[in-house]
Amino acid sequence: MMVRFLFLLLLNVLAFDFSKAQNGVDSKLTLAPVFSDHMVLQRNKPVKIYGKAASGSNVTVQFLDQTMRAKADQSGKWDVVFPAAKEGGPYVISVAANDQKINVNDVLIGDVWLCSGQSNMDFALRDAQTGPDELQAGPLDPDMRLLKMAGAVSTGDVAWDSASLEKVNRYEFFSGKWKSPDKASVASFSAIAYYFGKQIKKETNVPIGLIQVALGGSPTESWIDRALLEKDPQFAGMLGDWSHSDLVMDWCRERAAKNITNARSKDQKHPYQPGYSFQAGIAPLTGFPITGVIWYQGESNVFNVPLHEQLFTMLVKSWREKWNDTFPFYYVQLSSIERPYWPEFRDSQRRLLTKIPNSGMAVSFDFGDSLNVHPTRKKEVGERLALLALRDHYQKSVMANGPVPEKATLKNGAIRIQFLNKKTTLDHNKALPKQKLLTKNNAPLTGFELVTESGKRLVANARIEGDEVIIHVPAGERIRTVLYAYQPFTRANLYNEAGLPASTFSIAVK
């Protein structure tokens, strides 16, 4: 009896200590992970500050010489909303509840851009062609702040241990803190995002915050709210048994299988799983106002072009709904490489511009590598994304895209391709000069093909004539379509005077 009594007493003590520890965790005052020293808050939008505290406790927040108060709800959540503010700083956010206090120091107000996608967005500055020189160039801009939400576990060709498997199952995958720019923080940050932010800062002189949430190999569907995918019957197979679904790229499924080799749970989760990266990386940010998104992803969806079109339009629409903001969404067209389906995918990305409002696409095939899916020329790609933002969001008078085909007509044995004249100025009443069509170093024009009515593809002899491209039609051939830059790896060379290339495209002949 004495042994039983002591055993029960020990259990009660342990239970009391666990309950006390648990209550201590629940009552701790915290801010959402996106709040930390050196952060940037979005200008010209209400400033929402939020976190957790003991249920029912009163929370006081001081910011910009104003004080806001809130009461934590039953789950401990609280938030306050300050009026929109102009760019500036540095400031301090002070938060207090009960006897606890948190100060967030060196806070700037400016523009915050979310930088997401897979490995080419995750590609670090130190590994870019211009990275070493950039890191040695001199002082870094103190008003450009970086938040890298890094993956807690590598999705490389490794098997995870039990601790990693459990962490992934708890959705504790992405984490990071805001940092001021120094050689270490900049070197490991996304090269494309860095060069994008640097160009925006240079042209606007507004503090820039960059939030990197990217994961190598991740498919589009992993970045979409699972609840949305569940509403569409065509994605049922993808969700029910995603590791065996042919709607998910086989490489993603194979890599996930390797990572979770040691899993004991049949319901082991993985960041490539439909909905996972959204829940772990994006959902925690949707209460945090941003300017817009830059995106580089698609390599893990290139095998099914029609499916990607549905997924990508769903992603953009749903993210905007989650933020309740039709923010700009600028994405990178896939590069060129000797792999099947890539031309069709690039052309599909071009067509999506007409389906997704307030979007833009940076062409990158001219910086491609025939064998390497990770081309190292990231500076130019980041700056092309910045041109889109500068023209369409910041309303700067810049040229932001290369020649865009408008129509192809057959006359007297030749096809004439005319090109659109995109806006380059805010003054819509001002007549715009037509873009000049040219090739680098005046080299012969290359990259055009003709598709006959029987489906045969012919290399085209094309030339620039004024503001049109002229293609001679071989005798006896009836042409249905003109293709441009439609080889998986291409050095097609149609540009404009701003040095911006025409996209991969297909156009019907009228």
Residue 399 has pLDDT above 50, yes or no: yes
DSSP 472-506: EPPTT--EEEEEES-SSS-----B-TTSPBPPPEE
Residue 369 has pLDDT above 70, yes or no: yes
* Closest alpha carbon to 346 in 292, 392, 308: 308
User: Biggest alpha carbon distance in the chain?
Assistant: 108
Residues whose CB is less than 8 angstroms from the CB of residue 149 and which lie 6 or more positions away in sequence, other chains included: 174, 175, 176, 211, 212, 213, 281
Reported confidence tier of residue 422, pLDDT bands at 50, 70, 90: low
- What digits encode the pLDDT tens for the residues 315-366? 999 999 999 999 999 999 999 999 999 999 999 999 999 999 999 999 999 9
Comparing 30-109 with 112-392, is the CATH topology the same? no
User: Other CB atoms closer than 10 Å to residue 303's CB: what's the count?
Assistant: 18
Residue 436 has pLDDT above 60, yes or no: yes
Contact 481, 506 (CB under 8 A): yes
Residue 21 has pLDDT above 80, yes or no: no
What's the Cα-to-Cα distance from 264 to each of 155, 235, 400, rounded to whole Å? 18, 26, 51
Residue 8 has pLDDT above 70, yes or no: no
* Closest alpha carbon to 259 in 164, 152, 123, 117: 164
* Residue type, position 272, single letter: Y
- What digits encode the pLDDT tens for the residues 45-101? 999 999 999 999 999 999 999 999 999 999 999 999 999 999 999 999 999 999 999
145-159, 163-177, 415-429: least confident range: 415-429
Residue 453 has pLDDT above 70, yes or no: yes
Residue 425 has pLDDT above 80, yes or no: no
Q: Which pLDDT score, from 0 to 100, does residue 304 have?
A: 97
Residue 6 has pLDDT above 80, yes or no: no
d(CA 159, CA 180): 34
Task: Note the pTM of the prediction, 2 decimals.
Answer: 0.93
User: What angle, 0 to 180 degrees and rounded to 10, lies between the N-to-C axes of helices 342-352 and 305-323?
Assistant: 40
Residue 495 has pLDDT above 80, yes or no: yes
Residue 429 has pLDDT above 50, yes or no: no
Q: Which pLDDT score, from 0 to 100, does residue 433 have?
A: 58
* Structure tokens that stand for 31 in this block: 């801010």
Output phi, psi for 192, to 5 deg: -65, -45
Mean pLDDT of the chain: 93
List of E strands, 122-254: 144-148, 150-151, 174-175, 178-179, 208-214
Share of the chain above pLDDT 70, in %: 92
Share of the chain above pLDDT 90, in %: 88
Mean pLDDT of 172-178: 98
Q: Which pLDDT score, from 0 to 100, does residue 236 have?
A: 77
Q: Which pLDDT score, from 0 to 100, does residue 18 have?
A: 43
- What digits encode the pLDDT tens for the residues 351-364? 999 999 999 999 99
* Structure tokens that stand for 123 in this block: 């590609």
Residue 2 has pLDDT above 90, yes or no: no
Q: Dihedral of CA 50/53/58/60: which sign?
A: negative
Q: Which pLDDT score, from 0 to 100, does residue 500 have?
A: 97
* Residue type, position 498, single letter: A
Output phi, psi for 150, to 5 deg: -80, 155
Give the DSSP H/E element, type plus range, for residue 92. strand 88-97
CATH class (in words) of the domain with range 30-109: mainly beta
Q: Which pLDDT score, from 0 to 100, does residue 240 have?
A: 82
Mean pLDDT of 207-232: 96
Domain boundaries, the chain: 30-109, 112-392, 404-508
* Residue type, position 433, single letter: P
Contact 302, 349 (CB under 8 A): no
Q: Which pLDDT score, from 0 to 100, does residue 496 have?
A: 96
CATH class (in words) of the domain with range 112-392: alpha beta
Reported confidence tier of residue 492, pLDDT bands at 50, 70, 90: very high
- What digits encode the pLDDT tens for the residues 107-133? 999 999 999 999 999 999 999 999 999
Q: Which pLDDT score, from 0 to 100, does residue 131 have?
A: 97
